[in-house]
Structure 1
């Protein structure tokens, strides 16, 4: 968008241009003009002048042969049979393990699993289109204020294609499941991760909001592959669902490697004050992505005929703080290690923030 800004005069998105957040305050060129896009620190040099160990080895060398969008067929539902009749594994649906849910009528229990699949597919489609691809496009077009190798910017176009296809096959599969089962999706109007991200951004000064989104994408893209790794091959799950999740996981593994590298370039572009601001945001962004959407689950449980007291009991026992904290810490372990490698925990305030959120 930044390259054709004249066509979008008055667009609210312009206030969130990451370039503004990353350019050092008051920085100008020798001619007195603001730095051009992509002209933040020299390669390997941070905004504080220190050298950073930044290098890039593309994980997309064989993208044309390996990417799901290039090689995989459309995943189509066949009629459920005795060998593969479920739409999601009960072991991976937290509320399905609670006695009050496990004892529901079989058709209602199946609905619980289908609704969880809908949440996963809707989450994927909206994360990719509403947040990740906005950042991927900014990286590809050089408008995020971080100087990157040409190959890295080119790879961002591949991520853009991958993520658009993930959204497409997620919505496609959701429509197929709806038409096959007759179960309509019950989903919140706004995905919880987006609501949480907006709440965090609204609490920040305007110049930091775009940086928060860059960090959120980096965090989510390194977390999501860990989440997908939890999904085992379950022979009772209908093949189209298993194959869709497998396709998603294969692509996201490459995205994980890419954004782990992008984080090093992003850090090199920040001055010490901005690095502290960024590091303090990370625990909140991890929580925004990983903590359960208990409001949506509560509404769903009430829809199955549970009393409010029973619904609250399920939520309290399934999503107790100890369980949620342990899952968050385990899932985020690799992501946290990338920030630890940047020495963010050398700052006592940052270390305290990570510990407060149960990440250490």
Structure 2
């Protein structure tokens, strides 16, 4: 099968053998040392300006120790979300590309590139689990039992319920393509705060070393897959893309996490709930949000927004694209 794909007028890289060549030279698993947290160094484990619950007036005099605990818990959730996203969704989608008998035929080179993504993502999970274990050993109060599922994971499951079962695998691949073309730059910027612990900055930078390469692969894979979808699948999946984008970029998981935290230190659930709602009041996933702009840009570049089913979906949620 001849592989002919590009995004816009750009010659294919992400789906070609050049991708593997770059992976051999640049992947973190081949080039980066083991990640250990140096607990003797100063710094918060999560950017304090990215933790909205600190806006709660009742926490204005919070001690450094309690603030550190909150930010440790925030990193703990972040790492657990990575494990869930990369194992249950990203690697799952790549395995479907490689092994499943799908209506879209993927040539050998795309499958080979998918293998490299699986290796990268399992390495990311390994590093994340190692950091989780280091944190749990240092801070025994940390537990994974009460962590809410990420909005990304919930969004995929919700859309699956709406789709014909025969389209689940293809939707999962498309959903992962959208995930992987959204957050690379933002995540790097997210942890750039001067107050963030050096070990965490190092971890995030190494992670993004791979994700910037994955971006190219999944952007081209999105166009390749969409261009070859059967009409029925295109209608079924396309009509749900807008709802999926709005759901997966939501903040319900973050709100639940912060409410649980407040409940653990302040014994007034109703007031805590009102506080969380007030902190996030006015936030809405709209086309003006920078991360949403990234998604819309990817959908435009790959041709999804040229499809009437996709466009009508955005019209139905009130977005003018």
TM-score calculated relative to the size of structure 1? 0.76
| Secondary structure class of the residue paired with 2:190 | coil
In the other structure, the counterpart of 2:266 is 305
- Alignment partners' CA distance in 1, 2:33 and 2:139: 22
In the other structure, the counterpart of 1:247 is 206
- Alignment partners' CA distance in 2, 1:102 and 1:158: 46
Of the structure 1 ranges 252-261 and 221-230, higher mean CA displacement relative to structure 2 is found in: 221-230
- Alignment partners' CA distance in 1, 2:287 and 2:141: 30
Of the structure 1 ranges 114-123 and 201-210, higher mean CA displacement relative to structure 2 is found in: 201-210
- Alignment partners' CA distance in 1, 2:46 and 2:195: 9
In the other structure, the counterpart of 1:56 is 12
Instruction: Measure how far apart 1:57 and its partner are.
Output: 1.3
Q: Does 1:68 align with 2:28?
A: yes
Q: CA RMSD in A?
A: 2.9
Computing the radius of gyration from Cα coordinates, the structure with the larger value is: 1
The answer on whether the counterparts of 1:111 and 1:183 sit within 8 Å (CA) in structure 2 is: no
What are the within-5 Å matches in structure 2 for residues 174-213 of structure 1?
Answer: 174-188=132-146, 191-192=149-150, 193-213=152-172
- Alignment partners' CA distance in 2, 1:347 and 1:154: 29
The answer on whether the counterparts of 1:279 and 1:350 sit within 8 Å (CA) in structure 2 is: yes
The answer on whether the counterparts of 1:54 and 1:265 sit within 8 Å (CA) in structure 2 is: no
- Alignment partners' CA distance in 1, 2:139 and 2:239: 45
How big is each residue's C-alpha offset from its partner over 1:291-324, in whole Å with a ceiling of 9 and x where there is no partner? 111333322221122522332233222322x424
| Secondary structure class of the residue paired with 1:243 | helix
- Alignment partners' CA distance in 2, 1:342 and 1:354: 16
Flag structure 2 segments of 5+ consecutive residues without an equivalent.
none
* CA shift in 2, pair 1:43/1:69, >3 Å: closer
In the other structure, the counterpart of 1:281 is 240
Count of paired positions: 311
| Secondary structure class of the residue paired with 2:86 | helix
The answer on whether the counterparts of 1:125 and 1:171 sit within 8 Å (CA) in structure 2 is: yes
* CA shift in 2, pair 1:327/1:105, >3 Å: farther
Q: Does 1:79 align with 2:35?
A: no
Flag structure 1 segments of 5+ consecutive residues without an equivalent.
1-38, 46-51
- Alignment partners' CA distance in 2, 1:267 and 1:74: 38
What are the within-5 Å matches in structure 2 for residues 134-145 of structure 1?
Answer: 134-141=92-99, 143-145=101-103
The answer on whether the counterparts of 1:43 and 1:147 sit within 8 Å (CA) in structure 2 is: no
